């Protein structure tokens, strides 16, 4: 083990891009992914299981779909806690349930291991460029000590507070992301059916009160036929929205605005778009609006 060694469990869409950034920064990456050859493909040194990752790296990152995957990776017989030495740091970059995260913090602490929930935002494009935003919960000193690990992958790191605070922040962000994407998709389909020039419509929206991330960063590409493939899938968006509803329910906050995006992304999944980028929600809405596409299909 060296001071420039990092473990990474999950080298898929996001984790693979982060692995390449770390390797490019001269860091040795010890990787585990159940898909044969996945770790090698991104420059990581493959090992047999998560416990082996923790045996060879004092800092281990996890880039996984949700708590249902994170929990056995941490707790299992071949999990990270089985291989980690006291003083090691486990970092969950996933979008996980804050309640599950708080329990894992406590279990890690009982084993003398530090745990950080450090959710990321910015999608595949930011992971590729190393400009992710990280929102972290847990020990502030532990977070500061792994700054050298996060520097190649993130442009901004925010310590949000106690265990679970990072994942709570991510769910709040992703709820707003889901609302704006679903609502903008509906508006774009309506604009197309009304005969509007969608690029002009976006110009108006982006200089008016309807402006949001989807109008600024997504739909200028989508109306030209580029769906920005490689980002968060529709199924994962639905998962994040469901976690948000669970969170606010526990907090006693009424969830008055979740039905719309849940319905939109649920429709997309039922129409076969669940494993495609969440931006395809616009096609699902277009399907039920009579087969509408917001881009010129002769161009893409």
What integer pLDDT is reported at residue 297 of this predicted model?
66
Q: Is the pLDDT of residue 169 over 50?
A: yes
- The region of weakest confidence among 70-74, 130-134, 226-230 is 226-230
Q: Which residues of 200-214 are buried (b: 16+ CB within 10 A; e: fewer)?
A: ebbeebeeeeeebeb
| For range 57-77, the mean pLDDT | 96
What integer pLDDT is reported at residue 300 of this predicted model?
43
Q: Give the percent of the chain with pLDDT over 70.
A: 98
Residues 6+ apart with CB under 8 A from 193: 289, 290, 292
Alpha-carbon span 164 to 98, nearest angstrom: 5
What integer pLDDT is reported at residue 1 of this predicted model?
44
What integer pLDDT is reported at residue 298 of this predicted model?
54
Average model confidence (pLDDT) for the chain? 96
| For range 92-113, the mean pLDDT | 97
| For range 182-209, the mean pLDDT | 98
Q: Is the pLDDT of residue 2 over 60?
A: no
Confidence of residue 231 (pLDDT cuts 50, 70, 90): confident
Pick the more confident residue, 300 or 107: 107
What integer pLDDT is reported at residue 296 of this predicted model?
76
Alpha-carbon span 242 to 120, nearest angstrom: 18
Beta bridge partners of 277: 233
Q: Is 9 left (phi over 0), alpha (psi -120 to 50) or beta?
A: beta
Q: pTM, whole model, 2 decimals?
A: 0.93
Q: Is the pLDDT of residue 99 over 60?
A: yes
User: Which string of DSSP letters, residue by residue, matches 82-99?
Assistant: HHPPTT-EEEE-S---HH
Using DSSP bridges, classify how beta strands 154-161 and 28-32 pair: parallel, antiparallel or unpaired. Answer: unpaired
Any catalytic annotation for residue 239?
A: no
- Which domains does the chain carry? 5-162 (3.40.50.720), 169-288 (1.10.1040.10)
User: Which string of DSSP letters, residue by residue, matches the chain?
Assistant: --TTEEEEE--STTHHHHHHHHHHTT-EEEEE-SSTTHHHHTT-EE-SSHHHHHHH-SEEEE--S-HHHHHHHHHSTTSHHHHPPTT-EEEE-S---HHHHHHHHHHHHHTT-EEEEEEEESHHHHHHHT-EEEEEES-HHHHHHTHHHHTTTEEEEEEEESTTHHHHHHHHHHHHHHHHHHHHHHHHHHHHHTT--HHHHHHHHTTSTT--HIIIIIHHHHTTT---TTS-BHHHHHHHHHHHHHHHHHHT----SSHHHHHHHHHHHHTT-TTSBGGGHHHHHHHHTTS--SS-TTT-
Q: Which of 69, 58, 126, 112 is nearest to 92 (CA)?
A: 69
User: Which of 129, 170, 193, 239 is an active site residue?
Assistant: 170
| For range 210-231, the mean pLDDT | 95
| CA atoms within 13 A of residue 47's CA, in its CB half-sphere | 23
What integer pLDDT is reported at residue 94 of this predicted model?
95
């Amino acid at each position: 083990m060296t001071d420039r060694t990092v473990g990474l469990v999950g080298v898929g869409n996001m984790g693979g891009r982060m692995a390449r950034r770390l390797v490019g920064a001269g860091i040795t990456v010890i990787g585990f992914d159940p898909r044969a050859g996945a770790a090698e493909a991104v420059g990581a040194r493959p090992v047999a299981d998560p416990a082996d990752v923790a045996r060879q790296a004092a800092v281990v990152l996890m880039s996984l779909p949700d708590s249902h995957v994170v929990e056995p990776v941490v707790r299992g017989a071949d999990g990270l806690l089985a291989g980690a030495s006291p003083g090691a740091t486990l970092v969950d970059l996933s979008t996980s349930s804050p309640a599950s995260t708080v329990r894992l913090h406590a279990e890690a602490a009982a084993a003398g291991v530090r745990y950080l929930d450090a959710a990321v935002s910015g999608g595949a494009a930011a992971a590729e460029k190393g400009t992710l935003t990280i929102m972290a919960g847990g020990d502030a000193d532990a977070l500061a000590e792994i700054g050298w690990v996060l520097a190649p992958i993130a442009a901004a790191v925010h310590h949000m507070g106690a265990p679970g605070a990072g994942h709570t922040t991510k769910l709040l962000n992703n709820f707003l992301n889901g609302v704006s994407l679903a609502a903008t998709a509906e508006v774009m389909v309506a604009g197309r059916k009304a005969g509007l020039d969608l690029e002009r419509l976006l110009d108006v929206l982006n200089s008016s009160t309807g402006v949001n991330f989807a109008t600024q960063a997504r739909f200028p590409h989508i109306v030209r036929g580029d769906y920005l493939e490689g980002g968060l899938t529709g199924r994962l968006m639905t998962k994040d929205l469901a976690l948000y509803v669970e969170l606010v329910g526990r907090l006693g906050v009424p969830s008055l605005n979740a039905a719309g995006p849940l319905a939109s992304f649920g429709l997309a999944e039922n129409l076969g778009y669940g494993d495609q980028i969440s931006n395809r929600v616009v096609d699902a809405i277009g399907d039920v609006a009579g087969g509408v596409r917001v881009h010129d299909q002769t161009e893409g």
